[in-house]
């Protein structure tokens, strides 16, 4: 029904898969990764109808190309940006051209961001730290998974499998164990 994950799994491909398979993505807020003093991406308005971006000064960034990673590039006009009063807040490009990228599946990420504010999704995401994160915290703190002295994928896989098998056995023992009965 729903999938709770941390920010590393908040990708266009994963959110597309979840939404298309009718699963609710419970993903966190991710801060914009813009340099200090520059316009953030949300300050450039995307116009779906004309498939373009509008910059904070009102100029249009037209579609240019799609990269092999699936990002559509929208570029500004060099001669217009050269005289713009916001150029220093927009780009450090030597040719005075702003490039904004948008993934071909960006609308799925936007939908996941809208769902993040729903009450049901908030409760699902809150359970993530109680269940999933707890397992990894215990593995790191109590079972030596913070670092390893082993080398090689095969040896590390074996150590991880044995560690998680031991943790599962401890869980099963706790479920089965009955405390002393009162007389």
The radius of gyration computed from the CA coordinates of the chain, to the nearest angstrom, equals 24
pLDDT of residue 17 exceeding 80, the answer is yes
Q: Is the dihedral of CA 130, 136, 139, 144 positive or negative?
A: negative
% of the chain at pLDDT higher than 90? 72
pLDDT score of 13 more than 70: yes
CA distances from 150 to 142, 145, 160 (A): 18, 11, 11
At residue 177, does pLDDT exceed 90? no
Model confidence, pTM: 0.73
The more confident residue out of 182 and 126 is 126
The confidence score (pLDDT) of residue 86 equals: 93
Model pLDDT, residue 152: 94
pLDDT digit string (tens) for 30-67?
888 889 999 999 999 999 999 999 999 999 999 999 99
**What residue ranges do the domains of the chain occupy?**
2-126, 127-175
Q: How far is CA 151 from CA 147, 155, 158, 164, in A?
A: 11, 7, 11, 19
Q: Give me the pLDDT at residue 135, please.
A: 85
Cβ–Cβ < 8 Å for 12, 105: yes
Specify the pLDDT at position 80. 92
Tell me the pLDDT band of 183, cut-offs 50, 70 and 90.
low
What confidence tens digit (pLDDT) does each residue in 133-152 have? 888 888 889 988 888 888 99
């Amino acid at each position: 029904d729903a999938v709770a994950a941390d920010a590393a799994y908040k990708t266009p491909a994963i959110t597309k898969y979840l939404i298309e398979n009718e699963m609710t993505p419970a993903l966190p807020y991710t801060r914009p990764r813009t340099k200090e003093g520059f316009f953030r991406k949300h300050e450039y308005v995307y116009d779906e109808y004309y498939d373009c971006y509008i910059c904070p000064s009102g100029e249009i960034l037209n579609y240019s190309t799609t990269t092999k990673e699936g990002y559509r590039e929208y570029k500004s006009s060099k001669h217009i940006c050269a005289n713009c009063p916001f150029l220093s807040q927009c780009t450090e490009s030597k040719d005075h051209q702003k490039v904004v990228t948008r993934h071909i599946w960006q609308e799925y990420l936007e939908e996941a961001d809208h769902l993040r504010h729903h009450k049901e999704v908030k409760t699902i995401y809150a359970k993530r730290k109680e269940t999933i994160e707890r397992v990894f915290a215990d593995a790191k703190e109590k079972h030596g998974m913070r670092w390893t002295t082993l080398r090689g994928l095969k040896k590390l896989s074996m150590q991880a499998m044995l560690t998680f098998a031991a943790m599962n056995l401890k869980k099963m023992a706790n479920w089965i164990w009955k405390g002393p009965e009162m007389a």
